[in-house]
Amino acid sequence: MRFSIHPSAAEPIYRQIVEQVRRHVASGQWRAGEELPSVRAVAQEHAINPMTVSKAYSLLEAEGLLERRRGLGMVIATRPAATARAGQRRALLEPALQLAAQQARQLGLSDEEALAVFQRCLKSLPAGEQDDAV
C-alpha cells in the first residue's frame, strides 16, 4: 500500500491521504483487514509531518473506514462503512471531474474535446492502476 502525495497540490496532504484510502477501499483494491503503512513510515517516505498522516488516519477511523488493532496499527475495517457501493465510488470521483469540467469550460474546450482529453488520460494509465507513485 502506497500513497501518491503531491505537496504542491491545492488539496491538503491529509485530504490526499483520506481520499486515496477511500478510493482504494471503494474499488476493492484494499480489502478488510489489510494493514496500512505506519504513520512514521508514510511520513518518512514522503518527508511530511507525522501529525499530517495521523490526522488523516484519525479521520478515516472516525468514519469507520479504518480500525486500530493492537500490535498491528491501522487496518481496513472489517465492515467498512458503505463506501464500497458503486454509487459511492462514482461520488468519490465526481469532485475531481467537476473541477476538470470547470477548467475545460474556462479553457473554452468543447464537450468532445474535454472527453477526448479524459479518455487519453485513462488510456495512458495501465489497467487497474493504483497510483503507486511514491
Residue at 33 is within a domain: yes
- Beta partners for residue 128, in sequence order: none
What is the CA 40 to chain-centroid distance, rounded? 19
Residue at 18 is within a domain: yes
Residue at 129 is within a domain: no
pLDDT digits (tens, 9 = 90+) for 104-127: 998 899 999 999 999 998 888 877
pLDDT exceeds 90 at position 11: yes
Tell me what pLDDT residue 94 has: 79
For 127, phi then psi, to 5°, come to -55, 135
CATH of the domain at 22: 1.10.10.10
- Beta partners for residue 66, in sequence order: 76
What is the domain count for the chain? 1
Q: Which domain holds residue 60?
A: 13-124
| pTM (predicted TM-score) | 0.64
Residue at 67 is within a domain: yes
